[in-house]
Structure 1
Amino acid sequence: MEEQLIMRAKKGDDEAFQRLIEMHIKTVEKFAFQLGAKESSVEDITQEVFIKVYRFLSKHTRGKFTTWLYTITLNVVRDQYRTEARHSKRVKAMQDEGEASVYVETFYDDETKALHEQIQSLDEKYKVPIILHYFHDLTYAEIADVLKVSEGAIKTRMMRAKKQLKEKLEKVGERQ
């Protein structure tokens, strides 16, 4: 069904494109947030992702559509970080924590909030594979496609990320 929608959307069928958006909008929003986007930016990021999908859909010829969508989302979030860094050198920590905690509640239960916070503290090269594998069910091969690295690199990053997360979560547990 998705392939048919993609083919129709490539031929200019706006209804088919709208259905593609409806199928994937929650995935894009969730991934953008998990990458560290603020709640106030998630809608703009999602809109930008689908604008890029619309503009470049005719050029998408190989691989899974969702893999391509994750790649676009990752790049848009990175662009957003760069833009924010240029325009604002300071962000009020209290404001960010308040926004994040409200938004986290919509995606996570109490038990996983600490995990989310620790994942956010990881370097991007470790954070993204963890999010894609555990929250979006991508295989290591699919993650390698999204990040344009080898599957071996993903295995190494996953191993290191899990080790770092374990250490961070143990420290959180000791404080409680």
Structure 2
Amino acid sequence: MKNLSDEELMILVSNGNLDIMSILFDRYHVRIYNFLLKMTRDRDLSQDITQEVFYKAIKYRSSYKKGKFSSWIYTIARNIFSDHYQKQKNKDQRLDDIQYKTEEQNNNGIEDIETKEQLHLALEQLNPSDKELIIMNRYQGIKYQEIAEIIGSTEGAVKTKVHRAIHKLKEYYLQKI
């Protein structure tokens, strides 16, 4: 079973073989968690949303249309993340005002920590869609075509948006130095 592609496994899951989802979970839970952690900077929240992603993947397995599994699962993650922050907005909180928990820092030296923090501060200044694109492309290594499928756009538009977002990030980063 582990030799099957993600898409073949998901077809089995969508046909009722729910035990197979554990293989897909093993393949994707760390990537989904890391994506969400970069978006939220909150380990507990990222774990909760990651669990919800796989719960919804099982619950709505019949909606899987035999496309690229990774696009489908990231779309679920994006939707849950968006829903979470829409609820926060409804509580009169803006995305920019949410307090993030401090990441555990490793001992790479003070300069590395300062550089990472400056980069994080610059990333936080981006609007949520630009931030999401940079995280998917640069941190997660998701290809433009797949991002286009996830966000419902074209590959060319995604390339342009990522390029512009990186340019904005660079401007914000250089302002901090």
Q: Does the pair score TM above 0.5?
A: yes
Match for residue 48 of structure 2 among 37, 44, 47: 44
The answer to whether the 8 A contact 2:137-2:143 is kept is: yes
Q: Is the CA contact (8 Å cut-off) linking 1:35 and 1:120 kept in structure 2? A: no
What CA distance in whole angstroms lies between the structure 2 residues aligned with 1:140 and 1:62? 20
Tell me if 1:164 matches 2:172.
no
Query: Hey, which of these two has a bigger chunk of helix by percent?
Result: 1
Which of the residues 76, 80, 96 maps onto 1:76? 80
- Give how far 1:62 is off: 3.6
Alignment partner of 1:14 is 2:18: yes
Contact conserved, 2:71 with 2:149, CA < 8 A, in 1? yes
RMSD: 2.6
Q: How much has 1:155 moved relative to structure 2?
A: 2.1
Q: Percent identity?
A: 28
3-state DSSP class of the match of 1:50?
helix
Number of aligned residue pairs: 167
Post-superposition Cα deviations, 1:121-173, rounded to whole Å, max 9, x if no partner, equal: 21122112211111122221111111111223212211211111111111222
Equivalent runs, 1:1-176 vs 2, <5 Å: 1=4, 2-36=6-40, 38-87=42-91, 89=93, 96-97=99-100, 99-102=101-104, 105=105, 110=113, 111-173=115-177
Structure 1 residue 22 displacement after superposition: 1.9
Change (3 A) 1:55 1:134: same
Given that 2:11 and 2:66 are in contact with CA atoms closer than 8 Å, whether structure 1 keeps it comes out as no
C-alpha distance in structure 2 between counterparts of 1:16 and 1:140, whole Å: 28
Normalising by structure 2, we get a TM-score of 0.81
Which sections of structure 1, spanning at least 5 residues, go unmatched?
A: none
Alignment check: 8 A CA contact 1:5 1:17 kept? yes
- Structure-1-length-normalised TM-score: 0.81
Amino acid at match of 1:85: K
- Structure 1 Cα separation of the partners of residues 10 and 52 of structure 2: 18
**In structure 1, distance between residues paired with 2:63 and 2:145:** 22
